[in-house]
Amino acid sequence: MNIAIVIAHKGGRRIERLTVGESPLRIGRGWGSDILLDDKFVNENHIELSVDDGELYVRDLSTRNGTLLDGKRIDSSPQKVRFGQVLGIGDSQVQIQNVQASVAPASFRSAWFLLMERFGSTKSILSLTAVALFLQALVAWMGSSQEYGLGDALVGVGTLLVAITIAALTLGLVSKLLRNEASLKSHWLVIVIALIANVLIDFLLQIVRFNLQMPVLSDSIAMLAMGAIASLFIVGFLSYATYLSPSKRWLWSVSVVGLFVIFSYSEDWLKEDHQRWTSYSSSEGLTLPPALLFRSTTSVTDYFDASDELFGFTPGELADSDN
Amino acid sequence: MLRALLLSLSVLAGLVLASLWPNSLVAETSANRFSEYYDQIYQVRVFSPEAGSKSSIGSGFQVTADGLIATNYHVVSDFVQRPEKHQVEYRSHTGETGSLELLDFDVVNDLALLRIDQPADRFFSLSGDTRQEPSSAQSKGGLVYALGNPRDYGVTLVQGFNNGLVAHSYNDQLLFSGSLNPGMSGGPTLNANAEVVGVNVATAGSQLSFLIPADKLINLISVGRALEQSDYQDEIATQIKQWQRPRLQSLIDEPWPTETFADRELFGEIRKDFQCWGDTNSDNVNRSVAWTNRNCQTANQVFLSGRLNIGQLLFSFSEQESIKLNRFQFAQTLSPDMGADNQSNFENSTSFKCKTGFLDTQQKGQYRRINSCIRAHKKLHGLFDSLLLVEVNEGLTSFLAHLSIAGAEPDQIKALNTKFTERVQ
């Protein structure tokens, strides 16, 4: 029986192609093993693979640290193994692949895959998730106009965790359909990084907004910045979920963001002048503590001299609208 | 039992006597004396041919031999605002109707002059000066008699005391302790000599009503002009400007007496027409922010139409201190947004244009934000509404000072805003 095994150890991966015949095949640290593992927690002869009646079997050779099959401990009696199952041996993971199956098409090169390689370990993903949850709770605490207690924070974090899970599962399902690979970890990572980026950029935009005091300009800046960030992360999702080429990923991503922007602003853009009319002032509504004000100040006289322009209304604005 | 009956009988008798004695004499004489004047009251109505019905009613009375009819501006305001869509009509005591021509108006004192085609033989005479020449009925405490057609029920005579000029008012108005009702607007109020001492204008509820002193009407008649319909809006703008100029200039020029507010040297009733009210939430034990407010405003404003009024003048202070919120949360509760204090709409004014800035400060950890918003009146050229907010934020405390001026010219708005900002610093 021809198989391939994928061995992952400390972030590195190698693939071996081998044939399991009438005599069993041994994997271990000893020089006599058919597959050598450089792992100090692995016995000289650790597991044995054998074929019986067209089925593949594995057994643990009474080792010091034991063997896990998909997380469950096995003993020295042969256990049936299916393709794709993972054997935990010492610090290494061994996965058995079917060489009859065709491999997935080549992925386009993308920085997102590098990101996954760098932060893809469970530990990194958990840490980043914790950072994202903490930042979101911090922002909720700062942004609340009422008291914000531990209970509120826990509810917020819990809700967000559920939302991340649902989003990752949904994207995983889409990936499974489009690419036959759920990439749950990758999606989780992108979502978490997107949340962190969102908090940081939003905070920066708030400082810009507070210092500018020009709501229309601030709205445009925020729309552009958030649109760019959203496009970037949608490209990330598309990298993991499809085989689209980089240019097409960007095309799709920018189109989706553009449509969203048009959809959410169209009602405002289509308003007629009399529908925009308001008896309220149109000032920057956001206020931050004095420590976050960096702009220059003026004297009372200079301020009012510069405010003369407020009295200048165009003939269009003053047009008699009686009908 | 018997005692109780006797007691109630004597109380009843007392009541009957009390009601009969002083009032019955006056009622008898005035009823006899004023019966002839009932017939001289016209109902003034603004009719909308498009809608096929009247849009407002009021009362009017003839003041000259050649047929000048006086009423309130607000009775004919629909016509002034849209002359092409309305016409003014009268109905006499006989039920006879006809059209009236609008000659002139005074929006500040709420008066209008109209001309009737066929003048009656008799007309009302106006009392020369209601203030400087106190006769028995004109001075405080004198009995006066208001005539008008309330709610179209028929001409009614209302007797009450003239209580002199209204306090806390920039404009002269007489306080009349009688019940004026809608529809009586524009009718005359007579003294015992049947001279007009005032024109019915408004009510503030039970037995509290207001009259325009007759001298305002004499002034309007003496101008003796007939306005063109196309000049109505320019005329209104001119009248508002002429009224506002001295009204605001004295605020700009005169010092504002210092009054303490929340340990700050501020000001309050800076002129007799300002009234201040204060409030605090100190009795709320669960408050997350403690605040103390003071609002000061003038009672005077000018009604121009159902959709537009002008002339409001008010300021307010608010001292706020966080009790349970951190700096970020406290900042969230602060907003420089303001709303107009006068009524207007898209047809009458633009939206507000605002400019926000930060003023110099020597203190660390503090900012002084200033937000000034201006909107222009579309039909009243050269008049603007202004909103101003000065905010001193020290992280966990904040002081807000707000000034609102409705219907003024740029130079005076700027001068008042500057003075206000410098005083609240």
Q: Please check whether residues B320 and B207 belong to one and the same domain.
A: no
* Distance (Å, whole) CA A259 – CA A253: 10
Handedness of CA B207, B208, B210, B211 (dihedral sign): positive
pLDDT at B32: 60
* CATH code assigned at B165: 2.40.10.120
Nearest to B74 by CA among B199, B208, B195: B199
Task: Please tell me the distance from the alpha carbon of residue A74 to that of residue A82, in angstroms, as a whole number.
Answer: 14
Q: What's the first-to-final CA gap in chain A, in angstroms? A: 89
Domain count, chain B: 2
State the Cα–Cα distance between residues B189 and B124, nearest whole angstrom: 10
B198 plus B64 within the same structural domain = yes
B3 — contact with chain A (CB < 8 Å)? no
Q: Does B333 touch chain A (CB under 8 A)?
A: yes
Instruction: Give residue A120's pLDDT band: very low, low, confident or very high (50, 70, 90).
Output: confident
| Partner-chain residue, chosen from B334, B356, B368, that has the shortest CB–CB distance to A213 | B356
- Give the residue from B286, B329, B402 with the most A CB atoms within 10 Å of its CB, the best one to mutate: B329
With contacts defined as CB-CB under 8 Å, which chain B residues touch A303? 357, 359, 370, 372, 421
User: Which of chain B's residues have a Cβ under 8 Å away from the Cβ of A147?
Assistant: 288, 324-325, 329
* B130 & B274 share domain: no
Do residues B211 and B351 share a domain? no
Residue B232 lies in a domain: no
Nearest-CA distance A286 → chain B (Å): 7
For residues A38 and A9, the answer to whether their CB atoms sit within 8 Å is yes
Residue B27 confidence (pLDDT): 46
In a domain, B294, yes or no: yes
The residues with which B388 forms a beta bridge, in sequence order, are B372, B403
Q: Nearest CA to CA, how far is A321 from chain B (Å)? A: 5
Contacts of A280 in chain B (CB under 8 A): 337-340, 352
Q: Are B332 and A143 within 8 A, CB to CB?
A: yes
pTM: 0.81
Does some domain include residue B2?
no
Q: Are residues B321 and B245 in the same domain?
A: yes
The better pLDDT of the pair B30, A169 is held by: A169
For each successive 10 residues of chain B (425 residues), what is the average pLDDT?
44 41 45 78 93 90 94 96 94 92 96 94 79 50 89 89 87 90 92 90 88 93 93 96 97 95 93 94 91 94 94 96 92 88 94 94 92 96 96 94 97 97 92
Chain B residues whose CB is inside 8 A of the A300 CB are 359, 370, 418, 421-422, 425
Select from A280, A300, A319 the Cβ nearest to the Cβ of B337. Answer: A280
Report the chain B residue with the minimal C-alpha distance to residue A147: B325
Residue B284 lies in a domain: yes
Residue B9 lies in a domain: no
Tell me, yes or no, whether B413 and B378 share the same domain: yes
Q: What is the pLDDT of residues B153-165, one digit of tens each?
A: 888 999 999 988 8
Contact B414 A285 (CB under 8 A): no
Residue B11: predicted pLDDT: 42
Residue of B nearest to A274 (CA): B346
**Per-residue model confidence (pLDDT) at position A9:** 85
Distance from CA of A210 to the nearest CA of B (A): 10
Decide if B379 and A320 are in contact by the 8 Å CB cutoff. yes
Test A310 with B353 for CB contact under 8 angstroms: yes
Candidate from A147, A276, A284 with C-beta closest to B356: A284
Tens of pLDDT, residue by residue over A75-86, are 989 999 988 889
The contacts of residue B361 (CB under 8 Å, 6+ apart) are A297, B367, B368
The pLDDT score that the predictor gives to residue B111 is: 96
**Best mutation target, B330, B333, B342, B358, to test chain A (most A CBs within 10 A):** B358
B241 in a structural domain: yes
B73-92: b (≥16 Cβ within 10 Å) or e: bbbbbbbbbbbeebbbbbbb
- The full DSSP string for A206-264 is HHHHHHH--HHHHHHHHHHHHHHHHHHHHHHHHHHH----HHHHHHHHHHHHHHHHHHH
Q: Which of B332, B340, B355 has its CB closest to that of A145?
A: B332
The residue from B227, B248, B268 where one domain ends is B227
The arithmetic mean of pLDDT across residues A63-72, rounded, is 91
Answer with the one of B168, B200, B227 that is the final residue of a domain.
B227
Question: Range with the lowest mean pLDDT among A13-17, A193-197, A209-213, B312-316?
Answer: A13-17
CB-CB contact of B422 with A300 (8 Å):
yes
Q: Is B260 on the interface with A (CB under 8 A)?
A: no
State how far residue B193 is from chain A, nearest Cα, in angstroms: 48
| pLDDT(A103) > 80 | no
Closest CA to B173 of B241, B234, B108: B108
Query: Distance (Å) from the C-alpha of residue A269 to the closest C-alpha of chain B?
Result: 17
Identify the DSSP state of B192: T
**Residues of chain B with C-beta less than 8 angstroms from the C-beta of A296:** 358
Helix (H, G, I), strand (E, B) or coil at B47: strand
Smallest Cβ–Cβ distance between A297 and the set B345, B352, B359 belongs to B359
* Domain membership of residue B244 as a residue range: 237-424
Last residue of a domain, one of B178, B204, B227: B227
**Residue B130 to chain A, least CA–CA distance (Å):** 40
Of A147, A277, A289, the CB nearest to B288: A147
Contacts of B410 in chain A (CB under 8 A): 308, 311
Interface test with B, best of A148, A283, A305 (most B CBs within 10 A): A283
**Contact between chains at B331 and A288 (C-beta distance less than 8 A):** yes
Q: Within an 8 Å CB–CB cutoff, is residue B353 touching chain A?
A: yes
Q: CB of B357 within 8 Å of any CB in chain A?
A: yes
Contact B302, B77 (CB under 8 A): no
Question: SS3 for B420?
Answer: helix
User: What confidence score (pLDDT) does residue B61 get?
Assistant: 95
Q: How far apart are CA B101 and CA A7, in angstroms?
A: 103
Instruction: Give the distance, in angstroms, between the CA of residue B51 and the centroid of all CA atoms in the same chain.
Output: 29
Please provide residue A117's backbone torsions phi and psi, each rounded to the nearest 5 degrees.
Answer: -70, -35
**Residue B276 sits in the same domain as residue B352:** yes
- Say if residues A229 and A198 touch (Cβ distance below 8 Å): yes
Cross-chain Cβ contact B346/A321 below 8 Å = yes
Q: Same domain for B194 and B88? A: yes
Q: Let me know whether B158 and B244 are in one domain.
A: no
Q: What does the pLDDT read at residue B12?
A: 42
| Nearest CB neighbour to B359, from listed A303, A306, A307 | A303
Smallest Cβ–Cβ distance between B376 and the set A285, A295, A313 belongs to A313
Q: Are residues B211 and B242 in the same domain?
A: no
- As a whole number of Å, the CA-based R_g of chain B is 26
Flag whether B25 is in a domain: no
Contact A310 B374 (CB under 8 A): yes
**Model pLDDT for residues B313-329, shown as the tens digit of each residue:** 999 999 999 998 999 99
**Beta-carbon contacts of residue B28 (< 8 Å; ≥ 6 apart):** none
**Together in a domain, B151 and B87:** yes
Closest-CA distance of chain B to residue A131, Å: 21
Chain B neighbors of A277, CB-CB under 8 A: 345-346, 350-351
Query: Which residues of chain A make contact with B366, given a CB cutoff of 8 A?
Result: 290
Tell me which chain B residues have a C-beta less than 8 angstroms from the C-beta of A284.
336, 356
pLDDT in tens, A283-318: 888 899 999 999 999 999 999 999 999 999 999 888
Q: Closest Cα of chain A to B354: distance in Å?
A: 6
Q: Say yes or no for a CB contact (<8 Å) between A297 and B361.
A: yes
Statement to judge: residues B104 and B58 lie in one domain? yes
Q: Which residues of B touch A318 (CB under 8 A)?
A: 350, 376, 378
Q: Do A303 and B327 touch (CB under 8 A)?
A: no
Flag whether residue B346 sits within 8 Å of chain A, measured between CB atoms: yes
B26 domain-assigned: no
* Closest A-chain CA to B347: A321
CB spacing of A318 vs B331 below 8 angstroms: no
Q: Assess B314–A contact: CB distance below 8 Å, yes or no.
A: no
